Amino acid sequence: MQSKFKGGLLPYILLLPTLIILVVFLYYPALNTFRLSLFRKPIRVGAPLRFVGLNNFISLFESASYRNSVTITLEIAFAVVVIGMGLSLAIAVMAVQPVRGAAIYRTLLIWPYALSPAIAGAIFLAILNPQSGLINYVFDTLFGFRPDWLGDPKLAPWAIIAASVWKNLGFNVLFYMAGLQNIPGDVQEAAAIDGANAWERFWLVRFPLLSPITFFLLITNLTYSFFEIFGMVDILTGGGPVQATNIMIFKLYVDAFENHKTGPAAAQSIVLFLLVIGLTLIQFRTTGRRVHYGA
């Protein structure tokens, strides 16, 4: 039997605080962003915004710099998602093994997720320092040279990828460990009795049963790779060298808060939002169809 509120206004009164927060901090900023994307700030100080329609969007796609930023963003996001999830799954498989002291090293695997992106960037800034960094000390000792990780346009994106994967590793490992521990043992035993080796039991039994978690992590890692790696880029490379790590969210920030181009920046935010939504919908229509729940 379902219970009902006696007063017709009571549900709305209870929802009012949440609705106020959503309107003030979500809906109004979103609508204002759409409005700003149709205007452009004149050069003259104090002049009102000038309506330009869709010219801000047209200028974006005519800009070689912006198209380069989109390409770099997609490449880095792809690497962060694929490497991050693949490495996390491999670590989780090893971490769920019943060994002594498992709780300690499982905790150590998860703790990087507690750090902010800026702190993770600062850690990698020290590690990748060309003169005193630990990585270059190892390279100099073993190979006799010191790569310029943050100054080389070919290496800088990989520095961002490494820092981003490490930062989000604990989150992915935590979910994969939970999924692996919840796989019924009798399913794996049945596969072993049927003659499946360890790799076949993992790929044909355990991995398909992880599909809900894999799909969830695919969506969250995609969002993370487009938005939350801003702190790593800001600390490590500042979008350089020669725009090699100038991802969309960082370019948006520079145009909005350093160059004060509110109209183009608002247009960039809408394009970024639509791009992430589009990729998410594609994943729901493709990967999501192969997700199944239950053993």
pLDDT band at 111 (very low <50, low <70, confident <90, very high): confident
> In this predicted structure, what is the pLDDT of residue 221?
95
Q: What is the pTM of this model?
A: 0.88
Question: Is-contact 246 10, C-beta < 8 A?
Answer: no
pLDDT (mean) for 287-292: 70
Compute the C-alpha angle 127/131/132, nearest 5°.
50
What mean pLDDT, rounded, does the chain reach?
88
Is 15 inside any structural domain?
A: no
Query: Is residue 209 situated within a structural domain?
Result: yes
The answer as to whether 1 is a domain residue is no
Average pLDDT over residues 98-114: 79
197 vs 119, residue with greater confidence: 119
Which carries the bigger pLDDT value, residue 34 or residue 1? 34
**Beta-carbon contacts of residue 237 (< 8 Å; ≥ 6 apart):** 150, 156, 159, 160, 244, 245
Cα 107 to Cα 119, 234, 286: the distances in Å are 19, 28, 34
- Which pLDDT belongs to residue 158? 95
Q: What is the pLDDT of residue 284?
A: 84
- Residue 277 or 10, more confident: 277
| Mean predicted confidence (pLDDT) in 168-196 | 86
Please indicate whether residue 4 or residue 193 has the higher confidence score (pLDDT): 193
Instruction: Supply the CATH number for residue 146's domain.
Output: 1.10.3720.10
Please indicate, yes or no, if residue 208 is contained in any of the structural domains: yes
pLDDT of residue 19: 93
Q: Report the pLDDT value the prediction gives residue 229, as an integer from 0 to 100.
A: 93
What pLDDT is stored for residue 132 in this prediction? 84
Q: How confident is the model over 206-225, as pLDDT tens digits?
A: 888 898 899 999 999 999 99
What's the confidence (pLDDT) of residue 102? 74
pLDDT number for residue 144: 86
Residue 160 placed within a domain = yes
Over residues 33-54, the pLDDT tens digits come to 999 899 887 766 666 778 888 9
Confidence check: pLDDT of 295 > 60? no
Q: Is the pLDDT of residue 203 over 90?
A: no
DSSP letters of 153-205?
Answer: TTTHHHHHHHHHHHHHHHHHHHHHHHHHHTS-HHHHHHHHHTT--HHHHIIII
Residue 91 falls inside a structural domain: yes
Q: Which residue has the higher pLDDT, 6 or 104?
A: 104
Which pLDDT belongs to residue 81? 96
pLDDT at 6 over 70: no
**Residue with token string 């990780």:** 149
Is it the case that residue 293 has pLDDT exceeding 80? no
Check pLDDT > 60 for residue 1: no
Residue 271's nearest CA partner among 255, 249, 250 is: 249
Overall average pLDDT of the 140-157 stretch: 91
Q: How many domains does the chain have?
A: 1
Q: Note whether residue 193 is domain-resident.
A: yes
Which residue range forms the structural domain that includes residue 241?
A: 55-95+102-290
